[in-house]
Every structure is written in structure tokens, then in C-alpha cells.
Chain A
């Protein structure tokens, strides 16, 4: 019996109608509730929703992290294909933003990025045109064999033992190999810079018309967890419990310009923070290192050894998720989920 008519069950409502004792008790409850409501009464706050929205959107800290790691993305609604797209996007973002730095990565390193860095790097997309010579096909399947056939025969890794509490409900996702070519245009770059009122760093000789061809995928992955079940506790986000993905290491080929020239040009973009410049300069051999952009305030990363090679382990600061990334035998592997970092490393070491 409650003082919210909508919350009363049919049986309670019917009983209340005919029971004078309950009616009297109900009256006391309702009076108590309204006297408390009166105690807490305040003059109504008048708000200007439009102005407040503009204010919130102008706060730089309100910008969502564009390089949000897949594990941090709430997945209560997105379809499996979208999850697959997000995983693929992480690879694509890495490839696009840092493509100047590697040709065939054999190891991984994280670099801290800020919102300003991401905004500055995303402007690079306006400096030329992208054409796809092979578009990626994304597909979610229920069998490993189907996923493998979409991904040109690449086998999804097999987990030997799931941590306690991780659902055995599994969905496979696959992405076919994709090839895109970016052609730099001095004219477009100048126009883009002028539009943002910025002065462009000088383009290296031969950069106008230079091309950068990037190959990403094929990639396969499996997602454990019931993605459609709404979260019962609002404290927790309904993340996929575990994502395991394997992708052919992205490769890049440039014509007309050298890797060093590209690196200097990208790092000279207005808006790139000194922290990112320093982190990138500290990377030993840029042509063999896959850089993983990690939002500076979200994640801490540590170097770990996985399957006998160097990898990075990421754990977000709230303790809701962790991830391990490594490169081995020409493939990039990712294990991520709402699990402990030690569990992620354990799964990574036991992947078959």
C-alpha cells in the first residue's frame, strides 16, 4: 500500500476500496508524505534549457572521448554490428591518425591524447580526399566459422577458460580487409586551416598530391555477455563482459613523402599538445610501432609480456574495465572487458 496510485497493484487497489482500516492507514501515510513534501518545498527553479545546453556543449570537458576504448562504451542498446564497428573503428582511428608513423607494426605502445589532440588530428581528414579501393564489410554471426569466412579465413582466437562470472553467451563479429588511400592536397589543407582561422605548418616538399594507402583488417572477434539485457543496477554500465579480437596488423604505404616528414608535419599541427609530441618522440622506431591513443585522463597503461612478446595493459581509473593489446605473428590482438587486469592478462596468455 503506497501513496502513489500508479504503483499500487490491482489487488491492493481493490482491497483498499473496501477496507476502512486500510483507508485510514493510507490517509495517515499520505498526510505524512505531504507534510515531508511541504518541509522540502522550495521556490521552483526557472531554467533556460536552450542556454544551458549551449553552455554544457561549450565546455571542452563535456566532449565525449572520440577514442573511447570499446570496453568503455555502454552496450545496452547497440546491435552486435555496431559493437563490431566500434572495435574496427578503434583500429581504423589508430591507422588514420598515426598512419604516418608505422609501416608494419611489430609492437605496441600507448600515447596519451587529450581532446585538443583529437580535435587537431581529426582536422587532418580535411587536408585531402579519401578513396576506398576495398570497402570493409562488417558482419555479426553466431558461429566462428561464418566469422572466419567473412574475414578471409582469419580464425577467431579461442579462450581456454573464461573467468568466473563471465557469460558463455558468445557472438562473433568479422570485418573484411579494407584498403583506403588518402591523397594530400595543399589547396584543401590551406582552405581547412583558413576556415578554422589557423596557420598551417609548412607542408614538406612533395606532399601536395602525395598518397598514403592504408590496409586494415581483416579482423575477427568474439563478444561474451548478454548485450541486450538492460542493466539492473544503475551503478553499473551494461558492458559486454569480454571482447577478444584479432586483426591483421594494419599497414601503410606512402608515396611522395617520407615517414619522418609526415611525422613532423602531423606533430606541427596547431592544437597538438606538448605531451603528445613528447610521447611520440620518445617512441623508438616509429615504423614498427603501433600507437594506441589513450585518453589522458581515463586510462593508465603498463608494459606487460604476453605470449612471449611485449604488450600493453590498459585499465581505466574507475576499475570497471581493462584491456591487453599485443602484436604477434603479423596480427594485433585485443582482450578487453569488464574484468580485472590480471584476468585479462591471464586470458591473453592462454589464447589459442
Chain B
């Protein structure tokens, strides 16, 4: 049974590796998607799709696994953000968000309005700077951002500074329109 046993061992260790990867990275992947979408439910949806895609085609013990997941989370959620059809649904959901119930209704409206403007501005940025901002704001280190986006560590600072300037410009443009 040498070959059969080896194959079974390899299947089992792959399953165990995927569970370990999921446990280690799920919250962070949701965090990245939530940062972009400002909607925890939709963020979980994105995160689960990202893990499903990963599990189908990649080995969980691959060195690139976390970087792949972070990148996919950023891009998948940015794609959703750009999807006009979903926008309305999300904005309604945002308005009803439970996490901010402590705020008074007037303040809540302002917060929601600000978030909506920022997300609209983020959706207008090019994919790479938008992803860089989302990843960094989700707590990824420069090294992790560089691995996720496939850029040299030395370029991350410049990429982020330019992305910050671009986002600020878009936010200002959005509010002055």
C-alpha cells in the first residue's frame, strides 16, 4: 500500500494545512475586504470566495499562500466596490450597521456619508495603489504589502505616498462636485 498510503497522507496533510491557513488568515482577509467595502457581511462573502478559489487551485502549504490571499482579498473587494449594481445594496446595509448604534442619528448619517465618499474615491483609483492603501490600512507591514502586490520592498513607500496623494485628491474632488 505504499503509494496509496502516501497519497492518503498527502491528502490529509493538505486538508490540515488548509485548515491551519484558514484559521491563521481568515480574520485578516475579512479585515482587508471590510476596509474596502465598509460592510462586514459582504467582506465575509468576499473572504469565503477568496479561500474557496485558493483551495481549488493551490496548495495550502505553498510559501506564497498568505500573500496570494491578501492580494486576492484586496482585488476581489475593489472589484465589488466598482460594481455599480451592488453599490446601492451596500449603502443601505452600511446605513443600518450595528457597530455604530451608539452614535446619535445625525452623527451616524455624517459618518456614513464620509465612508461612502471615501469608498467612491477609492473605487476611482488605479487597482495597484488602491490595493496598497487597503492592505496597509488593514495593518499589513511594508514587507507583507510588497509580497502581496509583487513589488520590491523599496518601492512600497513611494507607492503608498502616491496612493495617499491620489486618494486625497479624489476625496476632495468628490466632495467639491
Query: A interface vs B, CB < 8 Å?
Result: 1-4, 6-7, 29, 32-33, 36-37, 39-47, 49, 52-53, 55-56, 59, 61-65, 72-74, 76-78, 82, 85, 88-89, 92, 130, 132, 135-138, 178, 230-235, 237-238
Contact = CB atoms under 8 A, between A and B. Distances in A.
Contact of B27 (A37, A47, A231, A238): A47
B100 to A, nearest CB: 6
Contact of A2 (B7, B35, B71, B156): B156
B148 A56 contact: no
B149 to A, nearest CB: 8
Contacts of A3: 157
Given A40-B133, A40-B134, A234-B148, A73 B59 contact: yes
17 contacts: A3-B157, A6-B141, A6-B143, A39-B171, A45-B34, A45-B44, A49-B22, A56-B51, A76-B62, A76-B64, A89-B3, A132-B1, A135-B2, A234-B147, A234-B149, A234-B150, A237-B57
A92 B161 CA distance: 54
A77 B59 contact: yes
Interface in B53-78: 55-59, 61-64, 67-68, 71
B171 A45 contact: no
Given A39-B167, A40-B137, A52 B48 contact: yes
A3 B44 CA distance: 29
Given A4-B141, A40-B133, A45 B4 contact: no
B23 A49 contact: yes
B56 A40 contact: no
Nearest to B98: A43
Given A6-B142, A234-B71, 6 more contacts: A43-B99, A45-B31, A64-B14, A74-B59, A85-B7, A130-B4
A43 B115 CA distance: 11
B111 to A, nearest CB: 10
